[in-house]
Amino acid sequence: MDLIQKEEHSDTIKAQASAIIWFKKAAFLEKKFKSLFKSILDTGNEVRVKVSISFSERYGFSLLIEDLDASYTLGKAEMVKQEILNKLKAENLLYVNAEIPLPAVLQNIAVISSETAAGYKDFLSHLRTNSYGYHYNITLYQAAMQGQAVENEVIASLDQIEREGGYDCVVIIRGGGAKLDLSAFDNYNLAKRIAKCSLPVITGIGHDIDQSIADIVSHTDLKTPTAVADFLIETTLHFESRLIDIGQQIQITYKDILQAENNKLVLIYEQLKNSFSFRKQLEQNKLNELDLKLKHGSTLNLKSMKDLLVSFESQIDLLAPDKILQRGFAIVRQNGKVVKDVKKLDSNKEIETEFINGKIKSKII
């Protein structure tokens, strides 16, 4: 390997030396630091090492690594991480992606991961075997999940996803690893690109204690790829439960409205029936009243007419010829006709005078 020292604010190399670790020493250090061993010696890390100087006539000058200072490398990584966070905060980028509304259903999902990664396989398996039978459309965008290639490949995948469109969200997942293995996700350019992504970004970068900067600027960060799968399933379940609740509420509301309208109809029917009965009774009363008036009026009329007839009969009876004759009057006739005016008598003809007890004929002198 090469140990280099760069200028403070640029990538210009100002010092460089070759270094080696013998096999036995490497085995000892790997046993001592476990997963941190390879992480500390990853390309781009700042390290503090204990070395001895070796010179060979054939191979020249080199440094033999005897020991590593893990706390130094971890401390430097944390300092860099904090500087990046401060810069993102100053640019108001920490919560930009989190403010994007999350769709009610996350079904068309763009996944940025490594196809061979165990975390990606666990993610797929968890989604496909969900107990609810939900189906998800997963499109993988291949990218490095460790090392210096992470920044460029993940950013390129995000660019491609936005160009193609049609996704509900972006998922970035990788399995667990040592703290320094995940340091590629403590990257300013990558964090800035995630923050400005037009889709909600969900991360499951596979560590249980610390958050990467990519986690912090994402919409939702979860601990593992399977936790991301659970989140997607629970989101769908929540949406389905809401639909069921709404359906039940609609059904209840429909029944309530139907019952209320039915009650109105019953009330209207009763009102109409009562109104009809009342109207019928009212008209019946009028008819009865008219009937009584007619009966009473006809009785009065009949009595009046009867009295009138009796009066007429009395008058007729009084004016009858025999009654007139009985009162001392006589009836004068000439040529068989009653003569009322003496001027109409014909002196050349005889007249007939009728009395109560007989008739006499005489001539006019």
Is 340 in the same domain as 231?
no
Write the Ramachandran bin of 183: left for phi over 0, alpha for psi from -120 to 50, otherwise beta: alpha
The rounded Cα 319 to chain-centroid distance in angstroms is 106
pLDDT for residue 36 is more than 70 = no
Q: Domain for residue 347, yes or no?
A: yes
- Kindly state the average pLDDT of the residues 34-52: 73
Fill in the amino acid letter for 346. D
306 within some domain: no
pLDDT band at 225 (very low <50, low <70, confident <90, very high): very high
Rounded to two decimals, the pTM is: 0.58
Helix (H) / strand (E) element for 263: namely helix 225-319
Q: Are residues 120 and 211 in the same domain?
A: yes
Domain CATH code at residue 178: 3.40.50.10550
Same domain, 20 and 112: no
Q: Which of 238, 266, 285 is the last residue of a domain?
A: 238
Same domain for 120 and 204, yes or no, is yes
pLDDT digits (tens, 9 = 90+) for 168-179: 999 999 876 656
Residue 270 forms part of a structural domain: no
What pLDDT digit, counting tens, does each position of 281-293 carry?
A: 888 888 888 888 8
Structural domain span for residue 37: 2-68
Distances (CA, A) of 275 to 271, 278, 281: 6, 5, 10
Residue 313's alpha-carbon distances to 305, 307, 308, 318, 326, in angstroms, are: 12, 10, 8, 8, 18
- Among 38, 68, 98, the domain-final residue is 68
Is residue 277 included in any domain, yes or no? no
Residues 161, 102 share a domain: yes
Residue 205: count of CB within 10 angstroms of its CB? 27
Q: Is residue 278 part of a domain?
A: no
Clarify whether residues 146 and 60 are in a common domain: no
Query: Is position 261 within any domain?
Result: no
Dist CA 161 CA 324 (whole Å): 139
Is residue 167 in some structural domain?
Answer: yes
Confirm whether 102 is domain-assigned: yes
Say which amino acid occupies 41.
Answer: L
Total tally of structural domains belonging to the chain: 3
